[in-house]
């Protein structure tokens, strides 16, 4: 598909999800060769009509150059004129973008059909070409009936993520630590906090920021959030920017520090929001992003072929968020500090994303913020309209892994995931007002 058409699908994604009647275009898309029967079945199995519309738009962007105009024709033929006109008018925003409505003549013979396929290559088509006329339609109906009666073991639905607002997002930003904690101040963390506040507001969350919390207050804020009524919302997000360390555990390694030097285990943080303690979030995704150290070990990585990666060196102000440890010959200067980590929650519908692997330090630049948060923010900005969360976190892993602190030390983010479905964020649509926050 042409890049301009993909951008229109991204721009009007919310309109497609809320307005499209997918069931009315399946036969038409199949007849025109835009989708194969297998792809139609996959879209149907994605869940509610809104989930199906979302999956349809996502798959449509992977098809050939004529997929978009053929889709517009299907909308017109199914009398979804408003949506068709909206998508067609999207092309007027670019001088070089032309969105013609293609009228495909009826296929009267197998020869004509083959000519049509050659003239409009929609890739990839793995099923044989259909036969013409009423016989063709009957054969397609029989195929769909057989496929509808067969469960796809590899099919996954998507979480409902269209509430406005989508849910609460709590950011805890611990920057200035009390002298008795023996923990250094986390210069650059405010940059991380500002980035994430803007990003999750753009993703339609109600964002609240709490700064410099002692352990007791940190637990109080988490408990208060878990006791809210989340029934009107689809998701809950907790972000913690602090120092971290390893602790003894039975499930979840890692802990984050209050500014008083007392820590809160990650296991306790997730327990506040599990199905038992927060009933209004049962079955809904609960996301935790932790920028902190998982321990004090520094990873020097291993050699790989020079043409496989393009390594990036961190800045001169790279720091970590680890607790003080006994001095060693490889300790860095006071301008270098690390940030924490954890493991797989037993309750369902939880994802915990860590800036580093348990046991290792996490790097933060005093000017531009942490590697992990800076990369996460950019990946969400560039890809949230089309990719699911787990895929985007894999992108974050790849990019952060190529950085180097002082040209020596590496960092590997990690996630522990018990989500049961795909998770796609809402994304803002140009021309629409941002969601209102109370």
CATH number of the structural domain spanning residue 367? 3.40.50.1460
pTM for the structure as a whole: 0.56
With 0-12 / 13-18 / 19 or more C-beta atoms within 10 angstroms meaning exposed / middle / buried, residue 221 is middle
User: Is the per-residue pLDDT at 202 higher than 70?
Assistant: yes
Helices H, strands E: what count in the chain? 14, 14
What is the pLDDT averaged over residues 144-171? 74
Asked, for residue 305, whether it belongs to a domain, the answer is no
Phi, then psi, of 136 in degrees rounded to 5 = -65, -45
Are 120 and 184 part of one and the same domain?
no
Does one domain contain both 137 and 172?
A: no
CATH assignment of the domain containing 101: 1.10.533.10
Q: In this structure, are 119 and 234 located in the same domain?
A: no
Distance CA 242, CA 219 (A): 14
Is residue 9 a part of any domain in this protein?
yes
160 inside domain = no
Confidence (pLDDT) at 153: 38
Span 87-113, average pLDDT: 48
**pLDDT, the chain, mean:** 76
Token couple for 139:
């054969």
Structure tokens at 147: 């496929």
In degrees and rounded to multiples of 5, residue 164 shows phi and psi of: -125, 110
Residues 47 and 129 reside in one and the same domain? yes
In this structure, is residue 292 part of a structural domain?
A: yes
Tokens of 256: 């984050």
Report d(CA 300, CA 17) in Å as an integer: 46
Residue 236 sits in the same domain as residue 379: yes
Q: Which residues contact 157 (CB under 8 A, 6 or more apart)?
A: 45, 46, 47, 51, 421, 422
Per the CB < 8 A criterion, the answer to whether 341 and 255 are in contact is: no
In a domain, 162, yes or no: no
Considering the domain architecture, whether residues 380 and 257 belong to the same structural domain is answered as yes
CB-based burial label for 77 (10 Å; 0-12, 13-18, 19+): middle
Rounded to whole angstroms, how far apart are CA atoms 77 and 27? 11
Q: What is the pLDDT of residues 267-307, one digit of tens each?
A: 899 999 988 889 999 999 999 999 987 444 443 343 444 44
Q: Which domain holds residue 124?
A: 3-148
Query: In sequence order, which residues have a C-beta less than 8 Å from that of residue 20 and are 6 or more positions away?
Result: 53, 56, 57, 75, 80, 83
Nearest to residue 287, comparing CAs of 229, 228, 235, 225?
235
Give catalytic residues, as residue numbers: 243, 293
Residue with the two structure tokens 């959030």: 225
- The reported pLDDT for the residue numbered 304 is 41
Q: Are 142 and 209 found together in one domain?
A: no
pLDDT band at 135 (very low <50, low <70, confident <90, very high): low
Residue 437, in any domain of the structure: no
Quick one: 140 and 256 in the same domain?
no
CB contact at 8 A, 171 and 205? no
pLDDT digits (tens, 9 = 90+) for 401-432: 776 554 557 778 888 889 999 999 998 653 44
137 and 182 share a domain? Answer: no
Matching residue, tokens 């820590």: 263
261 plus 361 within the same structural domain: yes
Highest averaged pLDDT of the listed ranges 80-89, 163-172, 315-324, 329-338:
163-172
Q: Count structural domains, the chain.
A: 2
Measured CA to CA, the distance from residue 344 to residue 191 in angstroms comes to 28
Output the CA–CA distances (angstroms, integers) from residue 51 to 6, 62, 130, in the order listed: 19, 17, 28
Give the helix/strand (H/E) hosting 34.
none
DSSP SS3 for 43: helix
Q: Are 197 and 207 in contact (CB under 8 A)?
A: yes
**Which sign does the torsion angle of CA 140, 144, 145, 146 carry?**
positive
The pair phi, psi for residue 355, each rounded to 5°, is -70, -20
pLDDT of residue 249: 62
Nearest C-alpha neighbor of 71 from the set 85, 60, 79? 60
Greater confidence, 28 or 115? 28
Q: Which two tokens stand for residue 132?
A: 């013409």
In whole angstroms, give the CA distance from residue 34 to residue 17: 19
Sheet-wide strand order for 244-245: 244-245, 255-257, 263-265
- Residue range 350-407, pLDDT digits in tens: 999 988 866 666 667 777 788 899 999 999 999 999 999 999 999 998 888 776 554 5
Q: Is 157 a domain residue?
A: no
Give domain status of residue 354, yes or no.
yes
Say yes or no: 67 and 189 in one domain: no
Q: Are residues 346 and 197 both part of a single domain?
A: yes
- What's the pLDDT score for residue 359? 62
Most confident of 139-143, 218-222, 271-275, 321-325: 218-222
DSSP SS3 for 330 = coil
């Amino acid at each position: 598909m042409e890049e301009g058409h993909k951008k229109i699908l991204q721009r009007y994604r919310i309109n497609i999800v809320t307005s499209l009647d997918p069931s009315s275009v399946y036969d038409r898309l199949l007849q025109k060769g835009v989708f194969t029967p297998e792809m139609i079945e996959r879209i149907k199995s994605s869940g509610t009509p809104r989930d199906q519309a979302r999956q349809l738009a996502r798959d449509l962007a992977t098809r050939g150059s004529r997929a978009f105009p053929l889709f517009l024709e299907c909308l017109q033929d199914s009398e979804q004129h408003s949506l068709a006109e909206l998508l067609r008018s999207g092309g007027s925003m670019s001088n070089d973008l032309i969105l013609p409505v293609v009228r495909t003549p009826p296929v009267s013979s197998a020869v004509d059909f083959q000519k049509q396929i050659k003239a409009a290559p929609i890739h990839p088509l793995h099923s044989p070409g259909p036969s013409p006329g009423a016989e063709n339609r009957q054969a397609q109906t029989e195929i769909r009936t057989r496929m509808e009666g067969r469960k796809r073991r590899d099919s996954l639905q998507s979480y409902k993520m269209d509430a406005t607002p989508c849910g609460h997002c709590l950011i805890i930003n611990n920057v200035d630590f009390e002298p008795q904690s023996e923990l250094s101040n986390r210069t650059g963390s405010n940059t991380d906090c500002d980035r994430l506040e803007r990003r999750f507001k753009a993703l339609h969350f109600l964002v609240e920021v709490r700064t410099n919390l002692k352990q007791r207050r940190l637990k109080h804020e988490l408990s208060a959030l878990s006791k809210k009524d989340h029934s009107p919302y689809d998701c809950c997000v907790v972000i913690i920017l602090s120092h971290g360390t390893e602790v003894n555990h039975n499930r979840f390694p890692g802990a984050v520090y209050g500014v008083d030097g007392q820590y809160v285990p990650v296991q306790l943080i997730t327990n506040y929001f599990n199905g038992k303690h927060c009933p209004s979030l049962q079955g809904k995704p609960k996301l935790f992003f932790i920028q902190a150290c998982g321990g004090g070990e520094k990873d020097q990585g291993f050699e790989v072929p020079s043409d496989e990666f393009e390594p990036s060196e961190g800045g001169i102000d790279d720091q970590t968020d680890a607790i003080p440890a006994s001095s060693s010959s490889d300790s860095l200067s006071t301008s270098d500090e690390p940030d924490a980590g954890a493991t797989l929650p037993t309750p369902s519908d939880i994802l915990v994303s860590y800036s580093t692997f348990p046991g290792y330090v996490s790097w933060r630049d005093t000017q531009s913020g942490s590697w992990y948060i800076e990369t996460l923010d950019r990946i969400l900005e560039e890809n949230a309209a089309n990719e699911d969360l787990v895929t985007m976190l894999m992108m974050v892993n790849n990019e952060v892994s190529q950085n180097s602190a002082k040209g020596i030390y590496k960092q590997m983010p990690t996630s522990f995931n018990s989500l049961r479905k795909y998770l796609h964020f809402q994304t803002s649509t140009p021309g629409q007002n941002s969601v209102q926050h109370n």
